[in-house]
Amino acid sequence: MSQTNRLSSGGLIDRRKPLSFQYNGKQYQGYEGDTLASALLANGVDIIGRSFKYSRPRGIVAAGAEEPNAVMQIGASEATQIPNVRATQQALYEGLVSSATNGWPNVDFDVMSYVGKIGGKMMPPGFYYKTFMWPQTMWPTYEKYIRKAAGLGRSSTMKDPDQYDTLNHHCDVMIVGAGPTGLAAARAAAATGARVIIADEQEMFGGSLLSSRELINGKPAIDWVRTVVDELSANPDVVMLPRSTVNGYHDHNFVTIHERRADHIGDRAPVGMTRQRMHRVRAHWVVLATGAQERPLVFAHNDVPGVMLASAVTTYIERFGVVPGNELVLMTSNDDAYLTALSWASTGRKVVAVVDSRAKADGDLVKQVIDKGIRVIFGSAVYDVDGGTRVKAARISGLTADGKKLTGKSETLSCDTIASSGGWSPVVHLSCHTGSRPVWDDNIIGFVPGETQQKQLIAGGIRGHYDLLDCLTEGMNCGYVAAERSGYGPVGKRPEYKVARIRRSPAMPLFLVPHLKPISQAPKQFVDLQNDVTSAGIELATREGFESIEHVKRYTAMGFGTDQGKLGNINGMAITAQVLGKSIAETGTTVFRPNYTPITFGAIAGRNCGELFDAKRYSAMQPWHEENGALFEDVGQWKRPWYFPKSGETMQQSLNREVLAVRNSVGILDASTLGKIDIQGKDAREFLARVYTNAWAKLGVGKCRYGLMCKEDGMVFDDGVTSCLAENHFLMTTTTGGAARVLEWLELYHQTEWPELEVYMTSVTDHWATMTISGPNSRKLLAQLTDDIDLDKDTFKFMDWRPGTVAGVPARVFRISFTGELSYEINVSANHGLQVWKKLMEVGKQYDITPYGTETMHVLRAEKGFIIVGQDTDSTLTPYDLGMGWAVAPTKPFSFIGKRGMAREDAVKPNRKQLVGLMAKKPDVVIPEGSQAVANPNQPIPMTMLGHITSSYYSATLGRSIAMGLIRGGLDRMGETVYYPQADGSVIEAEICSPVFYDPKGDRQNV
């Protein structure tokens, strides 16, 4: 394939390094230094997609981040697919594989173009909202159709083979943008010794200078760029980030930068290199030198391939040596765009005419164009375009001085390219990210950043200052100021910049070129090319009453695409203002939010994926659990053994075996994950009395007690056993999931409400390995492993604890029980956990000691009616609702947390939901957890719901199913029948009973 539009010389590409690439299955060639967009244009590829709504052919419009059409799917293999890449920002590399995102079945022959009119009618402005008025059942059909037709790109279905990472920085001066302004700022700040980071989204630094013919200090601008880049590179305090988009500007000068480290190299990052990196920068001062983007003019059929931004055409010619057509008509409202005519003419191709909306203009660039003999037509505008898949002609007409009406005769100018310029829009996006609203400035015909709280300076194009000398000077000044305010400088001798000023005649505020017909009847005048928003759509929105710019945006979906309206939004606001008869300043603008351009999930995730996605916590006995075939359950970050299946067992069979082993002999549970908080201080006991609902005054050394914790509203939020280790020393246990929450809550009360109490709290969860042996043989087993703890039943009673030695290791043994059986919780230092566990298993063999997991523990405790906070409770239940009024001591002197709350009118009203036991009438039916209880299953829907099942199991001990659940007024409804209708239409009948299904007197744990 020949590069028909490539010039033989000029530009910053390297013609000695040809690169071949694939686009839509065809091979093409470009050069090193090309973007995918410039290479496609060099090859004369006109159509690079189909539009979202009307399926119209679209071509490349811009040369940077604002490109709305050339949104590509990149990737040579399934694993390396990247959707939504702007071809204008993708560097060409050897072997690049790309395809158009939009267009089905292909961009050149599109089924949708035949039904385009239907598509258009189906998706009027307000589409998203009106659609939801349609039958909901149809929505999946529409969505499928729309997605397929519009094509929003697709992500890989395979694991991304590349790595991504994150880097945190601090710096003194963060400079965003490395055009003339940013480079001058970086140079100045770096000269003071400040730590500087300068980032730019483009492949190389230089910004507008990369396609400029201006001279700085008498030399080509690109030479100055190279000098400054070399100078900064040599400075160890300067971090230079090309290919790095500053995507977010967050509170307190926190900046997020998306660096594409290897996307320009190949389909995959080289070995040992991350593909992309997210920089998180905290800067003392930020200099925004983001420049400006050119605004296209809006006219009928302005979306036909071949209609481009004037400055983009210049960039393709000057930087890439590509002329994207043969015959140019330039449409402008300002002087700057005349550069495009000069560039085009210099290639030897034809400039048909410059159509200038202004009655006259005599700036330097205008004169140069006229001097070249190029036809300039003042007081006129391109109002319509001929052509379908490529521009064939521009229709021009005279324009009234206010730009509101066409006047005089029309003329048709044959051409294949129309470059348009409506002036510049400062890139204010980042300045908006922390809430600052842009302000309209009539002088520069654009929005500039509003006031901000950030330590932020703005310079150059973002302020609407486009003269090169102004940019360099402002950039330099801001660089010095930012550095000085960060504590550096001042610097004595400042560099001097000599640049010839270009005299410009005033620009004209023009956004929408009127048509012969009114807006609603004129051919489509596109405002937002990516979302197919037209001026008629905006007018319709305002006519339907959406007059606020935020409403217009949402109603029309203007700026909703991956380009976020970079090209179209200002025109849309101007057109809204025009149809409302208001000024742009009155209409205002929508604000921009992070991110400036789309970021890959890889860069967001960084290293936090796979094994590193979340921390995993294991107990000291994990190796044994794994060796012995445990299946694991996630409890917070903990991995807990769920149950230990033997070969050939179903889950239920395993649970039955484990349950019966505990009831009949002895089982062993790893309970290390329970939260443990060491509490010391002379007021520790008083503190406990205030945070627990029950009494602690008389708990002696060597004793343990179960307690409930409530929030101030009187609702249970955690529970556990606390033991008195010494007079001023306690060990509190919490639920596994609640450990951190409880500690922070205790600290909150201590630090803010009762700082006078002398009490110290430390988490010791990880310090101890806890193994619970439970069952009638547990005492015998323990006796074989300790010789210094008296296990006599009358000496070491239920709810006692003893220090001593177990398996030769110092231990604390707690005689507490969550199963209802005789149980001992053996705590040893975590480092000894595995060894003691193994010893227990070895010695316990004679009792057929059986390891059990959380699921069996749940069954065992449910047989006893013991609650699990968070499963049987949900922050709406008082201790009384749980039938646990025995754990509340209302006569305690201090009004403990929860006491006042549980006495509120609502908390004591009758008919509250209360926790009860439930027995299915058919003993083999396990009622699904979450099932809703009703009194009458034949009541028409919606039925009156009485509560729901919170815990439900098959109990091997009882040979039947058991359940716990909430029932309105349940504690007074023992023996009554309730019904649990199921999704499949069946109904489970159950009887309300006590939740204590087994050994209600507690004989077994007291033996």
Partner 1 sequence: MLHIFCPHCGEYREEEEFRCKGQAHIARPLDPEACSDEEWGHFMFFRQNTRGQHRELWVHSTGCRKHFNVIRNTVTYEIEKVYLVGTKPETEGAAS
Residues in the site for partner 1, rule: CB under 8 A?
A: 250-254, 282, 434-435, 453, 712-713, 744, 747-748, 751-753, 755, 895, 899-901, 904-905
Q: Which is nearer to partner 1, 90 or 434 (CB)?
A: 434
Q: Which is nearer to partner 1, 251 or 787 (CB)?
A: 251
Q: Which is nearer to partner 1, 284 or 358 (CB)?
A: 284
Give the C-alpha separation, 191 to 194, whole Å. 7
What minimum distance in Å lies between the beta carbon of 895 and partner 1?
A: 4
Q: Which is nearer to partner 1, 378 or 754 (CB)?
A: 754
Q: Which is nearer to partner 1, 349 or 455 (CB)?
A: 455
Q: Which residues of 469-491 are buried (b: 16+ CB within 10 A; e: fewer)?
A: bbbbbbbbbbbbbbbbbbebbeb
What minimum distance in Å lies between the beta carbon of 277 and partner 1?
A: 18
Contact 917, 985 (CB under 8 A): no
Give the C-alpha separation, 948 to 933, whole Å. 5
Q: Which is nearer to partner 1, 167 or 834 (CB)?
A: 167
What minimum distance in Å lies between the beta carbon of 537 and partner 1?
A: 34
What minimum distance in Å lies between the beta carbon of 711 and partner 1?
A: 8
Give the C-alpha separation, 834 to 140, whole Å. 54
What minimum distance in Å lies between the beta carbon of 798 and partner 1?
A: 34
Q: Which is nearer to partner 1, 249 or 511 (CB)?
A: 249
What minimum distance in Å lies between the beta carbon of 748 and partner 1?
A: 6
Helix (H) or strand (E) holding 906: helix 905-908
Give the C-alpha separation, 699 to 683, whole Å. 14
- Reply yes or no: is the peptide bond before residue 235 cis, omega within 30 of 0: no
Q: Which is nearer to partner 1, 92 or 246 (CB)?
A: 246
Q: Which is nearer to partner 1, 574 or 902 (CB)?
A: 902
Give the C-alpha separation, 666 to 680, whole Å. 35
Contact 560, 529 (CB under 8 A): no
Q: At what angle do helices 221-233 and 180-191 cross, to 10 degrees?
A: 40
Looking only at Cα atoms, what is the longest distance across the chain?
Answer: 115
What minimum distance in Å lies between the beta carbon of 440 and partner 1?
A: 22
What minimum distance in Å lies between the beta carbon of 244 and partner 1?
A: 19
Q: Which is nearer to partner 1, 230 or 905 (CB)?
A: 905
Q: Which is nearer to partner 1, 252 or 405 (CB)?
A: 252
One-letter amino acid of 375 = R
What minimum distance in Å lies between the beta carbon of 904 and partner 1?
A: 5
Q: How many CB atoms lie within 10 A of CB 188?
A: 27
β partners of residue 953: 962
Distances (CA, A) of 236 to 197, 226, 233, 489, 558: 11, 18, 7, 17, 44
- What would the two tokens of residue 199 be? 């980032």
What minimum distance in Å lies between the beta carbon of 725 and partner 1?
A: 22
What minimum distance in Å lies between the beta carbon of 752 and partner 1?
A: 5
- Reply yes or no: is the peptide bond before residue 928 cis, omega within 30 of 0: no
Contact 36, 92 (CB under 8 A): yes
Give SS3 for 744.
Answer: helix
Q: Which is nearer to partner 1, 608 or 977 (CB)?
A: 608
Q: Which is nearer to partner 1, 251 or 442 (CB)?
A: 251
Distances (CA, A) of 727 to 686, 701, 724, 730, 816: 12, 6, 7, 8, 20
What minimum distance in Å lies between the beta carbon of 892 and partner 1?
A: 12
What minimum distance in Å lies between the beta carbon of 640 and partner 1?
A: 24
Q: How many CB atoms lie within 10 A of CB 627?
A: 8
- What would the two tokens of residue 306 be? 């071949």
Phi, psi of 571 (to 5 degrees): -60, -40
Counting every residue written for the chain, the total comes to 1007
- Reply yes or no: is the peptide bond before residue 490 cis, omega within 30 of 0: yes
* Listed residue (473, 889, 433, 462) closest to 697, CA to CA: 889
What minimum distance in Å lies between the beta carbon of 893 and partner 1?
A: 11
Give SS3 for 872.
Answer: coil
For the stretch 557-562, contacts whose Cβ atoms lie closer than 8 Å and that sit 24 or more positions apart, written own/partner, are: 557/125, 557/127, 557/128, 557/528, 557/531, 557/533, 558/527, 558/528, 558/531, 558/533, 559/528, 559/531, 559/590, 560/531, 561/52, 561/68, 561/528, 561/530, 561/531, 562/71, 562/84, 562/530, 562/598
Q: Which is nearer to partner 1, 341 or 482 (CB)?
A: 482
Give the C-alpha separation, 817 to 824, whole Å. 7
